[in-house]
Structure formats: structure tokens, C-alpha cells
Structure 1
Amino acid sequence: MSRRSTTKKSPITKIIASIVAVAIVALGGFFIYKSFLAPSGDKQNDAKVTQEAPKQAYTASAEEKEYLANKFKGLLATNSETVGYVYIPGTQLDEPVVQTTDNATYLDKRFDGVNEPLMGAVFMDADNKKDFSDRLTWLFGHARGSKVADHRMFKDVNYFSRQEYFDAHPYVVIETPERKYYYEAVAMIIVPEETAFYRTSFDDDADFEKQLNIIYDTAEVKKPNVKVSAKDKYLVLSTCREEDDTIRANLYLRQIPDSEMSDFVKQHGESLQYKPTRE
């Protein structure tokens, strides 16, 4: 006889071998389940991914792009420092906007380049970005009033110190070569010429929001129940007061964010279309 045929396994060895075999089969079955069955159940629950909703971006329509291209072609041909156009529907405020390296040149220099005191042009603060992307953008312009025959420019800004006028003209439109921006009137304040509010940069959100709250809380004419936020962008139309050369009227406006643009344009777009008042 051979050695193999004469070797016999003990009962204990057989039991251990059976247990090991069962364990191997069970473990293998578990891995097979996890690999092939779990994707529709357990794995999905164990690997949940929270995705943020994509931020809405405003895209100008082909019609709007064509309109702006034609408009700014002529404006830039007249003045290469043109950065925008501002108008307030229902008023006489209807002006191109320029920007240069200082805040003095356009106090007397007209849009067409002619130097004429008390006329000048509407200009953006030299420290602002010309694409209106700053959290606070300043536009300056003479009110003119009775001192000159032409009463355009920013004279109508002064009328916003009356609540009924403020309420009747809630929106301001800014056009740029790339797109339109819409703003809602938030507050009108009268301040000294050298007010500390004339700033284009802030330490942080808290610093910016603090100033906005001071302005809103102290304004006698404003949109009710507004909660200012450092997350929003603002525009200020600033002009002089005819009754006192040492004070200024500042109209604060909140930019309609892109996330609200679709609904805003559907509701107000047609009524805010440009209608020229300049001769």
C-alpha cells in the first residue's frame, strides 16, 4: 500500500476543515454582494454627494448686444473715454458716462471735448473699475439748474429728495458696451461736500455694511423695509445742490443681481427701454 492510502484524517480535523470551508463561502458571498448588488442601494447611501446649485449668469440677448454695439460705436468715436450710459426712465436724465485718471477734468470738459465751465460731463470716479464691478461705484455730474440754459446732466437727481418723486422713479439703467445693468433706488441723502462717505474701497464686508446701514438709517427719503447687504453691489449718483454749494445730493442704488435678472427683465424690461430725451 501507498503512504497516502494508509493516512486517515481525524474527526476533529474534518470538523475544522468544514468550518473553514463554510467561512470561505460566506465571506466570498459577502464580497460578491457588495460588489454587484450594493451600487443600487448601500453604496449610494454611503457616498452621498451634495452639489451646489450653479450660480445664474446674465447673458445679453443678441438683440441687446447689437443695440449696444451700435450705440457705443458712435459714443466711443466721439469720446474714447466713454465707459457707459446712464438714464432714468420717466426723467430727463439721459447721459453718456466717461472716466479718466482724475476727478477734476470732466467738471468743465464736456463729453465732446469742449471745455465749458459748469457744463462738464457725467464721470465715474477715477478709482472705480470701468465695468461697474466694484461693490460701490460713484458717478458725478453737475445739476446745472438755473445757472445754465441746459438743465440736463444730474439736475433730476435732486428731485429724488422728495419721497413722491423717489417712489415714482424706482429704477436706473446703466448701459455698457457689453451689457445692461439695472438698479433700484434705495436711499437719498444730503451730505457735506467733504463727507467721509466718499469711499471706493472697504476693509471687509462688515466695514462696507456698516456704512450702508448708517446711510440707510439716516436717510429721510428711502425705499421702506430694505435690508442692505455687503453681498450686493451699489451705485451712487452724486451732484451738487443749487441752494448751497457746500452740500451734495447722493442717490444710492442697489444693482439687481444676475440671479434676479430673468424675473426682473420679464416684469420691467419693456418699461425700462431707452427713450432718448437729448436733442
Structure 2
Amino acid sequence: MAVLTISTISLDTFNAILSRYTTTAPAKLVDLDTLRYVTVPTKLAERKKDGDAFLEKAEVEGLVEWKLKHGTFRPKLLQLVQSNPSPLIHDTTRSAFASLDPTSPLPALKSMTSLKGIGPATASLLLAVFDPEAVPFFSDELLRWVTWEEGGGWKRKIKYDVKEYAVLVQGVGKLRERLGVKAVDVERVAWVLGREGRDVGAGGGEGGEKTEEEVTPNDGAKKSKSVKGKDETKVVGKGVKRKTEDGKTSEGARRSTRRKTAT
């Protein structure tokens, strides 16, 4: 199986995966995709020529809707964004675009996050439509692809903070330098790989969030954390029985917690 990590993928393979984007993306996203990849970037390019690039409130709302429908849907996020006055959106986006350094977009990113509902991930999207050539969008799939070799696969937990975006920018920058591709196309390749659930290789695995129980490498059995003075018991699979303090058995249930964050 070919290794498809971001540090090893070939240009031919990159382009082949990129060509599958239009058939992988749901038909219902066509209009929003056009807004995100064509309409808004074209308008910003025209405004840039006039020396006054900024985003209209309706454009920001449309981009946020694209982001929510392309990834994890958080209905309150759009409401927060809509609460920003139009003049504030004009001034904030204008200032962020004017200060943007494509090789180091973090200062502009932080400036953009002063708007309500605009976290690092959404701020990166607004910068990405301004400079699709060099500035990457902080998508779930792209971060997971960049950090694949650290483990976690397509279920890697994401914090959506500036530190993680810096890691993403560095990873995308190295790929762009090696293959000569656009940041926006790197984003789309990562999205296709994630939607297809491809194991990109090099030991990244498909693991998700870690718990107190650890999967053993040989037989997949889960070993519970030992407690002083108590017998250590093995748990295999879901819903199996484990010993309690009184020697009886009870059904084991794996618990997981999820945090909803503004991105």
C-alpha cells in the first residue's frame, strides 16, 4: 500500500486525490463550495487590487455556514457570528488582511478572532479565502493529516487553538515547498482522504481518544488500571463483565466525554 503521509505523498498521487474532490463532496454543498472557493476569493482579489480588501457580513456568514456543513455542525456558532455589526466585520477583516504575512499568519489570525464566534479555525478560513495560494484553512482533516505520524488517525482529538494551527501551517508549508501546490488544494486533498477514511500509512493508525484503558498490541484486549490491594482484571470487547470489590461481576461500560468548543 502506498504511503500517503503529507511528508511522502507524490505530486501525481496528490493530483489524483485532488481530482476526486468534486465527486466526494455532497451535491448539497455545491453552492457553498462555489461561494468558498470561487465567489468570495474572486471578490477579495478585486478589492485587493483597489487597495481595500475586506469581507462583507453576508460573506462571513456564508463562509461560516460552509464550514459548519463541511465539518462539525454547531448552530450557536453562526448566531454568534451574526451578532457582529457590519462595520465591525469590515474594519476587523480589513485590518487582518492588511497585516497578513502568508509565511507567518498567526498575528493576523489573532486579530480576526476578536470578532464574536470567530475562533482560530474560522479565522483561518477567512484568511484562506483572502490568500488561497499560501494560507491554509484549519480543517479537522488537514490537521489530522499533518499530524498523522503522531498517532490518532482520523479520530485524533483537536484543541482548535493557535498552537495547533502553527503546527498545521508548518506542515502545509513544507508540502507546498516540496510539491509546489496551493494551500487550498492541500486542504481539499486532506478532506478527500478523511472522507474516504484512508489509512495514509507510516504507523499513524486509526486510534481515537485515549482512556484509562489501554489496547494491548497483540490481541486487542483492554487491561484495566490496577488498584492497590485489588485484582487486576482484563476486559475484552464491549459490555463484558468485570470483577467488583465484593467479588461480584458487573457489566463494564466505556465512558467518553466530549467538549463542544468554538472554532
What TM-score comes out, normalization by structure 2 length?
A: 0.27
Larger Rg: 1
Higher helix share: 2
What TM-score comes out, normalization by structure 1 length?
A: 0.26
